[in-house]
Structure 1
């Protein structure tokens, strides 16, 4: 659900309040449907603060998602450097499984972990519009193969609703929720979002012979 005014090579600057508040956010702990304990780590200091091998893993999986052609509007994957800045350049969150060798908290973001096993997903938070409208935010969500059927999307959505207001954002807009992505729509409706618009025949998707409508989904964060 990338920002309407954004492409991978363009970044809208976050409000000053969001930049300062981001450094104060602490990791959030949650339990999945299968009782797995996870920690959701805020990334407030850019891609350099994320383990290189984790960024590489997420880039690889996100590239596969783009090539599948059903959830994001891009047609071709971006290179690693572009992805690093696109996803982690403003503010992001990474969901990792707690294991016996890692103390939940800051210690989980370290090289050497088996990312295919412990990384369940990630999302970013960015302004949806520039300048005087930058208090309206947008987010992009991605779950990994290890997350399937475990309720990770719902946990990341709950974390988004906790973190976004703390960053100073007042309203959330998702510009391109494809109408045939029913699983995603169910999550957002459960979390209090509403359809505030529709773009007819907005997308050429690999999982549909017909052009698919895009829903615009919003929620007050105040």
Structure 2
């Protein structure tokens, strides 16, 4: 479920109010989420709060390749060229991110996933399902409005990973202190992504006509601006 990144050359630092939320809600923010795909495969979503150095480098290299491939497809992200590996690490994992992995007990490696779940020697192509980050959409006085970028790995498309990560996003974003979520550029012809956000209670709050030149369309494609209030709102999934 790719979503759209903002300008990767810009950096917004963590505002003090969100740093306080991170500290006060640390046990909940750092606790992995266990769930299942629609096929019944058990999945754990691991929060990443200590930057890219806390992750296996083999995992980061795999996700960078997946991200670069998605950019090269030219259908879901606005950039025409993928960013380098070092820039990707800081951009994606520099503030707060989540990585979705198949449970080790399901693959037979361990009975209970622990620190070994993020070991260097896992087969990421088979066991890593996707990742997303959360960060402020605007600086300063508007930094309580968040944005997110999503990446579903190529081998697990159409298995419900996008919905699992979308629900996890709505779990973590309020704990991080965010009050509202905005996705700036969701291309209208990315039907699967639009449906996920609609099911999770997001609304289309704006439209940018002819915003994108995409590889899967001969015509310019409109971009939707999608938003959701994160305060005192339950996640209600429409069937």
Please say whether Structure 1 and Structure 2 have the same fold, judged by a TM-score greater than 0.5: yes
Corresponding residue number in structure 1 for 2:95: 90
Deviation at 1:106, TM superposition (A): 4.0
Cα distance between partner residues in 2 of 1:106 and 1:151: 25
Residue 16 of structure 2 corresponds to residue 16 of structure 1: yes
Unaligned runs of 5+ in 2: 232-239
1:44-85 C-alpha deviation (Å, 9 max, x unpaired): 011111110000000001101000000000100111001101
Deviation at 1:150, TM superposition (A): 1.0
In the TM superposition, 1:19-38 aligns within 5 A as 19-20=19-20, 21=22, 23-24=26-27, 25=29, 26-38=31-43
Deviation at 1:158, TM superposition (A): 0.2
Equivalent residue for 2:64, pick from 59, 66, 90: 59
Cα distance between partner residues in 2 of 1:16 and 1:121: 29
Deviation at 1:109, TM superposition (A): 1.3
Corresponding residue number in structure 2 for 1:2: 5
Deviation at 1:18, TM superposition (A): 3.0
Equivalent residue for 1:48, pick from 46, 53, 74: 53
Unaligned runs of 5+ in 1: none
Deviation at 1:9, TM superposition (A): 2.7
1:153-211 C-alpha deviation (Å, 9 max, x unpaired): 00000000000000000000000000000000000000000000000000000000000
Residue 106 of structure 2 corresponds to residue 101 of structure 1: no
Corresponding residue number in structure 2 for 1:215: 224
Cα distance between partner residues in 1 of 2:116 and 2:39: 23
Aligned residues: 219
Corresponding residue number in structure 1 for 2:171: 162
RMSD: 1.2
Corresponding residue number in structure 2 for 1:114: 123
Corresponding residue number in structure 2 for 1:201: 210
Answer with 151-160 or 140-149: which moved more.
140-149
Deviation at 1:146, TM superposition (A): 2.5
CA contact (8 A) 1:17 1:167 kept: no
Cα distance between partner residues in 2 of 1:146 and 1:167: 30
TM-score (norm 1): 0.95
Answer with 123-132 or 92-101: which moved more.
92-101
